[in-house]
Amino acid sequence: MRRTYLVLVVAAVTMAAARTDEGAKRDQEKIQGLWGSTEVTSAGKKVDREVRAEFKGDKVTMIVESGGAYTGTFKLDPGKSPATMDITIDDDGKKRTVPAIYEVKGDELKLCHAFETGDPRPSAFKATTKTVLVTFKRRKP
Protein backbone atom coordinates (compact mmCIF):
# COMPACT_ATOMS: atom_id res chain seq x y z
CA MET A 1 0.00 0.00 0.00
CA ARG A 2 2.78 2.45 0.91
CA ARG A 3 4.63 1.61 -2.26
CA THR A 4 1.53 2.32 -4.39
CA TYR A 5 1.04 5.64 -2.60
CA LEU A 6 4.68 6.60 -3.17
CA VAL A 7 4.44 5.73 -6.88
CA LEU A 8 1.30 7.88 -7.20
CA VAL A 9 2.95 10.82 -5.46
CA VAL A 10 6.04 10.61 -7.67
CA ALA A 11 3.86 10.37 -10.80
CA ALA A 12 1.79 13.41 -9.75
CA VAL A 13 4.89 15.51 -9.07
CA THR A 14 6.45 14.49 -12.40
CA MET A 15 3.27 15.36 -14.31
CA ALA A 16 2.98 18.74 -12.58
CA ALA A 17 6.61 19.57 -13.43
CA ALA A 18 6.03 18.60 -17.07
CA ARG A 19 2.94 20.87 -17.25
CA THR A 20 4.93 23.76 -15.77
CA ASP A 21 7.76 23.23 -18.30
CA GLU A 22 5.24 23.12 -21.18
CA GLY A 23 3.55 26.27 -19.87
CA ALA A 24 6.89 28.06 -19.56
CA LYS A 25 7.78 27.14 -23.16
CA ARG A 26 4.36 28.30 -24.39
CA ASP A 27 4.63 31.63 -22.52
CA GLN A 28 8.28 31.98 -23.61
CA GLU A 29 7.07 31.86 -27.23
CA LYS A 30 4.18 34.29 -26.59
CA ILE A 31 6.42 36.91 -24.99
CA GLN A 32 9.05 37.02 -27.75
CA GLY A 33 9.43 40.22 -29.75
CA LEU A 34 9.19 43.97 -29.33
CA TRP A 35 6.84 45.67 -26.85
CA GLY A 36 6.10 49.35 -26.18
CA SER A 37 4.48 50.67 -23.02
CA THR A 38 0.99 52.10 -23.06
CA GLU A 39 0.92 52.88 -19.33
CA VAL A 40 3.63 53.07 -16.68
CA THR A 41 3.17 53.48 -12.93
CA SER A 42 6.24 53.64 -10.70
CA ALA A 43 6.16 53.83 -6.90
CA GLY A 44 2.42 54.57 -7.02
CA LYS A 45 2.63 57.44 -9.53
CA LYS A 46 1.84 57.48 -13.25
CA VAL A 47 4.97 58.19 -15.24
CA ASP A 48 4.94 59.97 -18.58
CA ARG A 49 7.79 58.12 -20.27
CA GLU A 50 7.95 55.21 -22.61
CA VAL A 51 9.43 51.85 -21.78
CA ARG A 52 10.36 49.49 -24.59
CA ALA A 53 11.13 45.84 -24.09
CA GLU A 54 12.55 43.23 -26.40
CA PHE A 55 12.44 39.54 -25.51
CA LYS A 56 14.70 37.22 -27.56
CA GLY A 57 15.09 33.65 -26.37
CA ASP A 58 15.80 33.99 -22.64
CA LYS A 59 17.27 37.50 -23.03
CA VAL A 60 15.51 40.78 -22.35
CA THR A 61 16.44 44.39 -23.07
CA MET A 62 14.45 47.17 -21.41
CA ILE A 63 14.91 50.74 -22.60
CA VAL A 64 13.45 53.49 -20.44
CA GLU A 65 13.01 56.82 -22.20
CA SER A 66 15.55 59.22 -20.67
CA GLY A 67 16.41 56.59 -18.08
CA GLY A 68 18.86 54.16 -19.64
CA ALA A 69 18.85 50.61 -20.91
CA TYR A 70 19.00 47.33 -19.02
CA THR A 71 19.94 43.98 -20.48
CA GLY A 72 19.68 40.61 -18.85
CA THR A 73 17.92 37.28 -18.80
CA PHE A 74 14.48 36.21 -17.66
CA LYS A 75 12.89 33.04 -16.38
CA LEU A 76 9.15 32.36 -16.39
CA ASP A 77 7.03 30.25 -14.06
CA PRO A 78 3.45 30.17 -15.35
CA GLY A 79 2.56 27.47 -12.82
CA LYS A 80 2.15 30.07 -10.08
CA SER A 81 -0.81 32.39 -9.72
CA PRO A 82 -0.16 35.01 -10.86
CA ALA A 83 2.57 33.77 -13.22
CA THR A 84 6.05 34.84 -12.12
CA MET A 85 9.10 36.16 -13.93
CA ASP A 86 12.60 36.60 -12.55
CA ILE A 87 14.57 39.22 -14.45
CA THR A 88 18.32 39.11 -13.84
CA ILE A 89 20.15 42.21 -15.06
CA ASP A 90 23.78 43.22 -15.14
CA ASP A 91 23.91 46.54 -13.31
CA ASP A 92 27.43 48.00 -13.55
CA GLY A 93 29.03 44.56 -13.33
CA LYS A 94 26.75 43.35 -10.53
CA LYS A 95 24.00 40.87 -11.26
CA ARG A 96 20.71 41.54 -9.55
CA THR A 97 17.42 39.71 -9.83
CA VAL A 98 14.15 41.61 -9.92
CA PRO A 99 11.09 39.54 -8.90
CA ALA A 100 8.05 40.16 -11.08
CA ILE A 101 4.64 38.85 -12.12
CA TYR A 102 3.36 38.86 -15.68
CA GLU A 103 0.32 38.22 -17.83
CA VAL A 104 0.23 37.85 -21.62
CA LYS A 105 -3.12 38.18 -23.40
CA GLY A 106 -2.86 38.41 -27.17
CA ASP A 107 -0.86 41.55 -27.99
CA GLU A 108 -0.91 42.88 -24.40
CA LEU A 109 1.69 42.18 -21.73
CA LYS A 110 1.32 43.29 -18.12
CA LEU A 111 4.47 43.29 -16.04
CA CYS A 112 4.60 44.25 -12.37
CA HIS A 113 7.90 44.13 -10.55
CA ALA A 114 9.36 45.15 -7.24
CA PHE A 115 10.45 48.80 -7.08
CA GLU A 116 13.71 47.92 -5.32
CA THR A 117 15.76 44.74 -5.71
CA GLY A 118 15.20 43.70 -2.08
CA ASP A 119 11.45 44.26 -2.16
CA PRO A 120 9.20 41.19 -2.30
CA ARG A 121 7.59 39.97 -5.51
CA PRO A 122 4.23 41.70 -6.12
CA SER A 123 1.23 39.45 -5.53
CA ALA A 124 -1.20 41.39 -7.74
CA PHE A 125 -1.14 43.78 -10.70
CA LYS A 126 -1.45 46.87 -8.50
CA ALA A 127 0.37 50.16 -8.63
CA THR A 128 1.79 50.67 -5.14
CA THR A 129 4.73 52.54 -3.62
CA LYS A 130 6.69 49.24 -3.73
CA THR A 131 5.99 48.29 -7.38
CA VAL A 132 6.47 49.27 -10.99
CA LEU A 133 3.48 48.34 -13.17
CA VAL A 134 3.84 48.48 -16.95
CA THR A 135 1.26 47.61 -19.59
CA PHE A 136 2.83 46.89 -22.97
CA LYS A 137 1.43 46.52 -26.47
CA ARG A 138 3.20 44.31 -29.01
CA ARG A 139 5.05 46.25 -31.71
CA LYS A 140 5.73 45.20 -35.24
CA PRO A 141 9.45 44.64 -35.97
Judge contact between 8 and 105, C-beta under 8 A. Answer: no
pLDDT of residue 58: 96
pLDDT of residue 68: 87
Helices (runs of H) and strands (runs of E) counted in the chain:
1, 9
Closest residue by Cα to residue 106 from 135, 133, 127: 135
pLDDT of residue 63: 94
pLDDT of residue 34: 97
The domain limits of the chain are 2-139
Judge contact between 69 and 53, C-beta under 8 A. Answer: no
pTM, two decimals, is 0.81
Q: What is the mean pLDDT of each run of 10 residues along the chain (141 residues)?
A: 43 41 87 97 92 96 88 96 94 89 97 90 94 95 75
Query: Is omega for the bond preceding 82 within 30 degrees of 0, making it cis?
Result: yes
CATH architecture of 2-139: Beta Barrel (2.40)
* Sequence-separated contacts (24+) of 57-62 with Cβ below 8 Å: 57/32, 58/28, 60/87
pLDDT of residue 73: 96
Strands 84-91 and 131-139: unpaired
pLDDT of residue 115: 87
